[in-house]
Amino acid sequence: MGKRPERRVCFSCCSRRERMARDKEDEEIGMEGKRLYVGNLAYAVTNDQLRDLFGAHGTVEDVTVIEGKGFGFVEMSSQAEAESAKEALNGVDFEGRALKVDEARPPRSRPTRGENRGNY
């Protein structure tokens, strides 16, 4: 049998060790974008509150809080400002919860309706 091609790890089917190795690899590369993921938000947090919080670390271009999900996205004006905000705010208590700030990743492609349903 031939060697299987190397695949990127995903959260649904890969071990924790594989995911940690991928995350470490990503950290070594450094940030490439200026859009940040902000997790563990209190559900009552608004776009304006997040804009004010991140505004202390640079110019905020866009803020989107996903209602009822506890996370959102903040886009800074530069990569350097995004990295500075990430370092300063990751783990900080905001509205009673420790923030999880990381570089936003592009959305995963999802199968279209009817695909990937298995053979029934």
Question: What DSSP line would sit under 95-109, residue for residue?
Answer: TTEE-EEEEPPPPPP
Give the contacts of 43 (CB within 8 A, at least 6 positions apart).
Answer: 67, 68, 70
Structure-derived torsion over alpha carbons of residues 49, 108, 21, 82, reported in degrees to the nearest 10: -30
pLDDT score of 110: 75
Written as one letter, the residue type at 81 is E
In a domain, 6, yes or no: no
Domains identified in the chain, total number: 1
In a domain, 26, yes or no: no
In a domain, 18, yes or no: no
In a domain, 27, yes or no: no
pLDDT score of 36: 97
- Sheet containing strand 100-103, strands side by side: 60-66, 71-76, 35-39, 100-103
In a domain, 89, yes or no: yes
CATH of the domain at 52: 3.30.70.330
pLDDT score of 38: 98
In a domain, 67, yes or no: yes
- Which range marks the domain in which residue 47 is found? 34-103
What are residue 25's DSSP bridge partners?
none
Global pTM reads 0.68
Q: Per residue of the chain (120 residues), what is the pLDDT tens digit?
A: 444 444 454 555 556 676 666 665 555 555 678 999 999 999 999 999 999 999 999 999 999 999 999 999 999 999 999 999 999 999 999 999 999 999 999 888 777 776 666 655
In a domain, 40, yes or no: yes
